[in-house]
Chains A and B, each alone.
Chain A
């Protein structure tokens, strides 16, 4: 036994170093991008190239805010689209989550299954009809053109999570509030919502990350700078500057993932839970 335990401890140490090596390799692409973003252009593109920078600079970060119109606009667009999507999804999924979780009504089972069946349908099926619809309604090239489909695609997830949360609340709480003369809407928003707060956080994170990362709808529906979000906008910046200004593209990428990174470190647990549920997306 003792010899065995010793062998195990040794193995554990070997594994630690193996994982460490993997981890370094794993994070390297991002680190390389970061390194590029703090090098001056002539250092990135000199010949022969070197892996280690000869000089460091923050000029790329300054440039994308002051010298480049696109980036700040894309950032703003991403914020507007993401925040509106999250708010609408929270509102709608809380309301319907309450209805499915705490109210008995005929056909609720069938209706809920119908909403859930949506989860397995790949997004490519929605893209063409939604584009035609928005084109005919004049919604392409607008914030709304992205917000509406984003809400629709995230709502089933929100509903699933919210229904789960509401159905754990004892019905007595609701009945007591109604007997006390509390209106149904006030009861939901003032008494029940604080109870399902964790579900709110999970829904927010799923929706936020989706809207912040979405590419296919954004690149199809919006073709103009004014309404474009970061995942597509940065690709445009790259196409415009070509590879000769990788420092600026790198800076834009690093800045664009910063908000989600900050959220990630605040709500790590919710992230891992939430994104696991949201992985069927796409």
Chain B
């Protein structure tokens, strides 16, 4: 009788403890889950829904369901979207080229330096802490046609007005000007990836090559670059994904102009939503952008994984 009582009370105690542990678990998870569900999961689903509708905020009472028609219209009947897509592609390719080559070159140089390498690394990293919008103002001022630095210097050399132009209002240079400003902020980051990669190459590889009489450039070409491949892939993923997310710069420096020369996907979506109040179209553009980004990440990750599997 007594024993039975003891067993049940122990059982009850254990059960009570398990319940309280479960309650604790829910409490521990609650704040994070609240934010993730309300501000992330719901928005993703809701903008997915909006992208299947026609909905002008403040004009239409409720969204009208049109299924995929909106997506079809974007590609077949929206020249501004195609322009944004093309601009985005040009932006991505040149941004990738500049950022990748500049940081790779700097990393190789810094790796060979025996003095002050750390300090240089920090210095190249510094633009990362400047907000993109303010970096935009800084570049616009540097290149400003009225008393900006570049044109002041050019004026000192030649009075010919042909060489003094407004970089961000000139159709030919506006987009590439934005690319330069954005690369400026990114190079310090990919530099760190490359330097980490270079540090990981065993010195014995290079010493062996040197004993065999390899020149410095042969070392770069035959030893350093092949060993850096995984790091190149990682930074390619970073740069490409990053390149699709231009908004601040366009908004602050060119506002999509001159004309529509610097419309990008983010900017076009934003413009549709918050100036034309067209939430359906804006969501379609946002979803297409997201799909491109996710696809890119998945494909590059695949490539990357295949690459590492091959080495292992």
Contact = CB atoms under 8 A, between A and B. Distances in A.
Interface of A: 1, 4, 7-8, 11-12, 15-16, 18-19, 22-23, 26-30, 32-33, 36, 44-51, 88, 91-93, 95-96, 98-99, 103, 105, 114-115, 118, 120-133, 148-149, 151-153, 155-156, 159, 184-185, 188, 209, 212-216, 219-220, 230-232, 234-235, 238, 243, 246, 249-250, 253, 256-257, 260-261, 264, 268, 271-272, 275-276, 279-280, 282
B67 interface: no
A185 B289 CA distance: 42
B155 A115 contact: no
B229 interface: no
Given A124-B270, A125-B43, A234 B137 contact: yes
A118 B36 contact: yes
Given A32-B142, A92-B35, A151-B35, 15 more contacts: A19-B113, A23-B124, A32-B149, A48-B152, A48-B155, A92-B32, A95-B32, A122-B289, A126-B44, A129-B46, A153-B39, A231-B134, A264-B129, A271-B129, A275-B189
What does DSSP make chain B's interface, helix, strand, loop or mixed? helix
A128 B36 contact: no
B50 A33 contact: no
Contacts of B122: 268
Interface of B: 21, 24-25, 27-29, 31-33, 35-36, 38-40, 42-44, 46-47, 50, 57, 106, 109-110, 112-116, 120, 122-135, 137-139, 141-142, 144, 146-147, 149, 151-153, 155-156, 184, 187, 189, 192-193, 210-211, 213, 216, 238, 241-242, 244-245, 247-248, 251-252, 265-266, 269-270, 273-274, 279, 282-283, 286-287, 289-290, 293-294, 297
Contacts of A213: 130-132
B120 A96 contact: no
A128 B273 contact: yes
A227 to B, nearest CB: 17
Nearest to A232: B133
Contacts of A8: 216
Contacts of B187: 26
Contacts of B33: 96
Contacts of A50: 152
Given A260-B129, A282-B242, A129 B42 contact: yes
A279 B128 CA distance: 10
Contacts of A33: 138, 141-142
B255 to A, nearest CB: 11
